[in-house]
Structure 1
Amino acid sequence: TEETTESSGNEEVEINPEEVKGLSETEKSKEQLKDILDLAHTTNTEFEKKLEELDKEDNLIPTELKDKIKSYVIKETFREEAKEVNLPSFFIKTTPSLIEEENYVELSKGLLLKGFDLDKEESKIELTRTASQMYRVDLTEIRANESVPEYRKERENVKDAFIKYISTLSPEAKINQIAGRLNKIIKKIDEIPEPQIIAYIKKTLEPLDSDKISEIANNEIVYADIFKKRIKELASNYAEKRFIRMLDKGDVVCKPTFTFPKKISPKNTEQGITKNLYIQEGEINPFEKKVINEVANLDSVVFWHRNLERNKGFQLNGFINHYPDFIVKMKNGKTILIEAKGDHLDGSDSQQKLSLGEKWASKAGDEYRYFMVFESDRLDGAKT
């Protein structure tokens, strides 16, 4: 690693995926990772020692990529201050056992979705047509047990053949076919079982007339996205309500889990802003750059770090998974999380992120703060 100074309508029509094998972790890597997670719940000294051993061997980086990945270490001037940062995550209290009076499990959305039943949720969806294109769905394996759908435009004759095929089916069989194809595009939503997703789609399609069913068949990608967003919204609402109830009852607590890694390997990097924690930080967009540049130039700031996503950085683990854009260490000892939301990025999850961030700061203690910054229009509680 270079250092610098992620005819029966009930029988679904099969579409053969092109399997693309990703690089998998070695058994040794998996064992080391498990050791680290176990040690994270013991003493900080043991944890840091294990991290140092891992840094020397770099066994979590596939051998084929080691020589191609650039790594950037923490600036020497900030190393001592960086060691003081140990960000807390949410944990759930579990039922006491004979061995332990009190035990905690790191919170996940999957745990919050315990008891969620999609069949009991409202199936009314605004099904509005916005495009007319049919795609072939190839499930591409990106790593062990994880695949993503790839959409490729189908030739008109293939599209016409499918539409002609389903036109010969009974209404029930037609719905079965379309529900199966939409589910294949959606593939997976949180911890919701696939049969629940298919049943929910069928329940939504059943009251529709034949013209609307045909329109959905002609616009699978569009409608699969509509279904996916709605199901995710229902699941998130359920998880958020359960999270708040558990928080109010004291069943959710904060425990320190995250320390800065000794080096990072962002795909693209950013330079030119003072007080960056690592020799180079992950890339940022123009609005984020404006925000962090103003923050970094404050006399009260010790350093800042561009938080990395996809399990590489610090995650606010709640009813949604949220990686704030920046982690800022202040001279008064406080640690601030900042989420910069340019107007082009504003979405329906902004309110949930703000709510989660504020609840985290409140539960984590007086040493922590969370801010969401908007370019112009803002949500209640956010900054501009």
Structure 2
Amino acid sequence: MIPYQNGGKYIRPIALFQAQPKGKEDATTFEKLRTELVNTGIPAEHIAIRTADVNELKNVDLLSSDCPVRYIITVNALKEGWDCPFAYILASLANKTSQVDVEQILGRILRLPYTAEHRAKALNMSYVLTSSNDFNDAVQQIIRGLNSAGFSDRDYRLAEPVEPVKPAPVPEQLPIIEPEAPQEDFAGLDGKSIGAELQRRRESENSPESAPKADSMLAEAQQAGDAYNQAVQGADNDPFAAALPWEVRDKVNTFHIIPQYQESVDGLLIPQFFQVIPQSLFTDGDKVLLSKEMLADGFTLKGKAYDIDFAAADDEIVKVDVETGRSVPRAYQMEAADQRYFKEYFSSLPPESRVRQCKDMMIHQLDKLNMVDGGELRAYVNLIVDGMDREQLAAMEKAPLGFAAKIRVKIESLLEQHYKETFFTWLDRGKIVCEPHYRLPSAIHPTSSTAIYGKSLYEAEEDMNALEQDLVKRLTAIPNVLWWHRNIARHGFAINGYFNHYPDIMIMTKSGKIILAETKGEHLKNDDSREKIELGAAWRNAAGNRYRYYMVFRDEENLPHGAVSMGQFVETVEAL
């Protein structure tokens, strides 16, 4: 397509008139509508009829700039087998007394051309015009059509029904309608009067003070479109809600940022880790938000330890079956008698066959580890099994899936160690950098919430355990604290290193410092806590002087290296 006057591609909006014939072979309704449209001043060559029985679009390229067609009279566009992304307007002229299905034809005006946003806002929306004695009934038909096409109530806007202007009663001009005579679908349409009015409006376009509001519908549509775009942008800043279907979003708890804190959040981008992609023959260079899977680069099972304790391997035998009427396989614990038969059969096989089958079963189970090379995985399993003594082989033959689970745990621990080593190596070499990225959402959606503590960033925050509550209560008494926020695990901010760490509490001080605090009970002074302290320290050092990370325990006794007590933490926050 060549660019046109405003720099875009060629678009010729087409209006679809949904008519309803009186019978299958009756074309008089279509011809009557064509006549009325011509009477309004529309050239006859701009109008075409396309139904199951009448096809005036044969060999016509509707997308061509040479095609004059701007109005198509149809009944059910989908079943009639034609398509056109230039179809923007649906005017439903179906019999007001019948329930006409509009689902299929709606699909023809929802495919806007080029699937791109156009400079002219009016071209980014489709339009449905309907006339009915019962406006609500007509609207419900349209809504059902939109729903069947996959749209929800957030994707369309309704204009208020227009009340017809009632002229002063002039008895001699009232039409006489016989009760038994069928009413035409558009019997009240006066094409010549409409044409005269359209001509008058065209002539008065240059006189705004006297021109009627001919563009009021477009103005309302543009206003609705702008409101919709703002709502979409708001959803983009709310990743949790954006991942939910529209029908569910209204049913979850939603709490917005308290207005007095909005200014402190605007423009705040909290640093996260990015992998630096160097410039090469195939790329100009880039930075990509880090995920731990990227750190699997260079991982190998060759030469890795395979010291695995199989003593507690479970004897797991299950059967997988497809129930009648179901397409999804279900797993069941095999009954005792079946297990006994299976084991007896397995024991009857030659030793080499039993070992080979066990290997195959374990490799099949472990093959879901995407970060591990398949050939290396098979070699690793062979190395483990070939090194077993007679007792271990006998135990493996009884519980091959339990042995596979033990091997999986070992491989995953090797992977986690590789992730960590690669992370710190890349960070030291500048292959990982920490840059502003995470924006606090405009609203949060906790499954359970509390609103009893002051200085919370949102109208309510995710509910907290006793230790977190004690910390928050002490924060509310610190003058330097502007606001605090209970970070929601798996939905909020993550320190995205060799694992994703979601600190419990986020704090902003009046001096502009951002503090992340992970609270831990005394029973959690373990390896997990030490890993989080190490990753938090790496993030703090890379993020810059504005940012802090602390792991907070209630008491000072036996603190892991790098952790603080609650009293020490409160003193630090006061000093910041």
Kept in 1: contact 2:237–2:441 (CA 8 A): no
1:281 is aligned, of 443, 461, 465, to 461
**AA paired with 2:273?**
F
Range that drifts further, 351-360 or 174-183: 174-183
Secondary structure of 1:164's counterpart equals: helix
Tell me the residue number matched to 1:52: 234
Kept in 1: contact 2:300–2:373 (CA 8 A): no
Q: Deviations for 1:300-348, whole angstroms, at most 9, x for unmatched residues?
A: 22112121222x2111111122122221111221111111222444553
TM value normalised by structure 2: 0.50
1:316 is aligned, of 470, 495, 518, to 495
Tell me the residue number matched to 2:508: 329
Kept in 2: contact 1:271–1:280 (CA 8 A): yes
Q: CA deviation at 1:89?
A: 0.9
Secondary structure of 1:70's counterpart equals: coil
Q: CA deviation at 1:118?
A: 2.1
2:276 is aligned, of 93, 103, 106, to 93
Secondary structure of 1:298's counterpart equals: coil
Q: How does 1:1-384 map to 2 (within 5 A)?
A: 51-52=233-234, 54=236, 60-97=243-280, 102-129=285-312, 134=316, 136=318, 153-179=333-359, 181-182=361-362, 188-189=368-369, 191-193=371-373, 196-197=376-377, 199-216=379-396, 223-310=403-490, 312-375=491-554, 377-384=558-565
CA distance in 1, matches of 2:513, 2:405: 41
Q: Which runs of 5+ in 1 are unaligned?
A: 1-25, 30-47, 140-149
Which one has more relative contact order, counting CA pairs under 8 Å at least 6 apart?
1
Q: 1:171 to 1:50 in 2, by over 3 A?
A: farther
Kept in 1: contact 2:318–2:333 (CA 8 A): yes
Q: CA deviation at 1:68?
A: 2.5
Q: Deviations for 1:47-75, whole angstroms, at most 9, x for unmatched residues?
A: x9963264799653214423432211112
Secondary structure of 2:533's counterpart equals: helix
CA distance in 2, matches of 1:171, 1:378: 54
CA distance in 1, matches of 2:255, 2:358: 49
Q: Which runs of 5+ in 2 are unaligned?
A: 1-148, 153-229, 322-329, 566-576
Q: 1:97 to 1:134 in 2, by over 3 A?
A: closer
CA distance in 2, matches of 1:50, 1:317: 27
CA distance in 1, matches of 2:365, 2:319: 7
The sequence identity of aligned pairs, in percent, is 28
Secondary structure of 1:254's counterpart equals: strand
Secondary structure of 2:564's counterpart equals: coil
**AA paired with 1:330?**
T
Secondary structure of 2:549's counterpart equals: strand
Q: Deviations for 1:271-312, whole angstroms, at most 9, x for unmatched residues?
A: 4333222222223233333333333432222112121222x2
Range that drifts further, 79-88 or 354-363: 79-88
Tell me the residue number matched to 2:128: none
Q: 1:383 to 1:278 in 2, by over 3 A?
A: same
Tell me the residue number matched to 1:145: none
Kept in 2: contact 1:275–1:296 (CA 8 A): yes
CA distance in 2, matches of 1:313, 1:187: 32
CA distance in 1, matches of 2:455, 2:298: 46
Q: 1:207 to 1:249 in 2, by over 3 A?
A: same
Q: 1:195 to 1:212 in 2, by over 3 A?
A: same
Tell me the residue number matched to 1:3: none
Give the paired residue count. 331
Q: CA deviation at 1:155?
A: 3.1
Cα RMSD over matched residues? 3.7
Q: Deviations for 1:5-60, whole angstroms, at most 9, x for unmatched residues?
A: xxxxxxxxxxxxxxxxxxxxx9999xxxxxxxxxxxxxxxxxx9963264799653
Q: Deviations for 1:116-170, whole angstroms, at most 9, x for unmatched residues?
A: 01233111123342x755364889xxxxxxxxxx986543334434433433344
CA distance in 2, matches of 1:330, 1:358: 20
CA distance in 2, matches of 1:63, 1:161: 52
Kept in 2: contact 1:93–1:105 (CA 8 A): yes
TM value normalised by structure 1: 0.72
Q: CA deviation at 1:381?
A: 0.8
Secondary structure of 1:119's counterpart equals: coil
Q: CA deviation at 1:192?
A: 3.0
CA distance in 2, matches of 1:158, 1:185: 22
Secondary structure of 1:361's counterpart equals: helix
CA distance in 2, matches of 1:343, 1:180: 45
Kept in 2: contact 1:307–1:326 (CA 8 A): yes
**AA paired with 1:382?**
A
Q: 1:215 to 1:319 in 2, by over 3 A?
A: same
Range that drifts further, 105-114 or 368-377: 368-377
CA distance in 2, matches of 1:317, 1:238: 16
Range that drifts further, 371-380 or 255-264: 371-380
**AA paired with 2:262?**
R
CA distance in 1, matches of 2:476, 2:317: 47
**AA paired with 2:512?**
G
